[in-house]
Structure 1
């Protein structure tokens, strides 16, 4: 069952937006601030903690996947909370399981108070890998196996590089891993240069060749192939991150970082995704546009959607119609879906597609022409309407129609459009 504790503390739903969470937090923080009532101190800590988790995308992702227990066990992405906050709040939310977060035992331990610096092992860098997925994968969900190479603590020497006591502090850099040199760049001006120690290669320690571990050659780590099962949930999006906590490269005295899988969605031949909606285009003929049609669209789960339009329902070029509930499933709520929008193009028949007699019959079926009164007199002249010849320059070029800028009007007054009566 999903853990909604932090959402309930802030009084919002699980699908609340960032702005809703922020608005609720400010309201509750103002109400329960200790400056107003000292008895509200614990409640204010809970509210602050809930907001810290839910307003940070990575921590919210972890909490939504693994709940409070996942945060307690170090799934929160490397800390970022004061130790006393974890001790107090987890003690309440977990029913007395908060011990170890305030001290140095847990992954969040050793952090004194607000603004206190974290003691203990430093945290390694996160590793990012892209996983290409199709729109079908994001619609239906998918489990992929991803093979990765990572460094792990050498199992033979347990990360010591050799037998016990063989590793010695580098005498060249005195264990700092870097060498500092000074050089003169001008009269009375010196420049300090810092470079990786060539003796220990930045490790700060050295070991004799004869004492090195035969397995890792004194490097303390070895390479290992890891296969991760990546669960792509229904409704996930392009660029969404799937974290694997603590699966990053291992180093002695360093807390392993995370492996973060970033989804990369391929373009689809039929559909384009916009949020939770799907869009596509479809071309129909003039007969279908006027007299109705049936056609099928292959949905991303393999179903054939029969799209119908009744006779007499006119579809104009550029019309957009919707099929409700046939868009993408919503992330973490896959039974709810967005909508499918279809934009129609209408293909008109070629010139002289019917003889004159049939055209007259067709005209009787169509709405009547608008009545146009043709003026008479010496100032009336008939002209020919022809297709544009791209080889001819000047005003006959199609660009003359497309370019509709007032800057080209030379102050001769507003442009005039064709009038319809």
Structure 2
């Protein structure tokens, strides 16, 4: 594989951001819409699908395993599924690019089918640990051979030899992870009996909502300790659906923070998904003093949605409750930027998951923030940031994005509120989740 040529970009102090934008479809929902449609019997139709590199990797993998997937001229995607248990042997390695979600969820699908699949990815994905997915899938009978990574981790390239019938299990997540939860549930789709996942802390629940919508026999119970017991009955027959994908709250986050920080800004972001397991950032920013108004709150395909009107605000530092971390884990990099401009100190803990994302997001963000003049203390599981009280950051540095799309976009927003330009060494990774990020920024700054 040859990685794209690096494309550095510089971002500098911005005039007020004004106007209305529509962000790309939710990445998590887009992945699942393709996978579940490919496992249904019949034809599903999907609109609003995120057409970034990660989701297209999922589409390519499902095609390689027998599903017919095509995009119409209107932007509607049509998926003719093979049925649960009907996945075919892929004839070549499945190239996941930079997508950890594609990799981990598809490992779950393959694990309970009588096929063998090899997973490969780019340099960033190939360094990410896969052991926490390998462990439960191996208990279900899958034979998984991974490459040795740093510090004893198991990484890509890896090969999954599925077991059919697989062995149902009850698995308690050792740490909050929607990807691991979903991988086990997807393996359970083609496993006789009941497969159970127990999560002590609730994570994003798109898999549960959408599997029910497709007709899976799935239940959720909360025990006396507050843990969620998610049970799925295997050998399911999924029914085709028509799906409208809402806007991605993780993508909206960059424009929410930009509008809050750039003086004089007034931005409306249309059709943003506000699933309670994903909306933590909005509540944290409101607690810091952010003016974020929900307009026309509604329900679209089982997911809560609203337009967000965001106006420039003076933010104050807070102690962020670690219990909200699972509902905004991908948004912490951009929250770090907001905290750097707030009045006083912001303390964030319980962010261990950030260490094993596309990059070590705690270490990478701390290094970049220090380079542009923010006052930051990195801790083992989080960050302490003393803000400027609204004054611009010094800026004037080149920041390494480490092939991590959220790092790149976070520092792009930092450049809008810095005295001197902030340069990101390579904006290419942004294409994985938000191909028109820079275009929308331009639209808001006429």
TM-score above 0.5, yes or no: no
| Structure with bigger gyration radius | 1
Give the TM-score range, shorter chain.
Answer: under 0.3
Q: Give the TM-score normalised by structure 2.
A: 0.23
Q: Give the TM-score normalised by structure 1.
A: 0.24
Q: Which has the higher contact order (CA 8 A, sep 6+)?
A: 2
Q: Which has the higher helix share?
A: 2
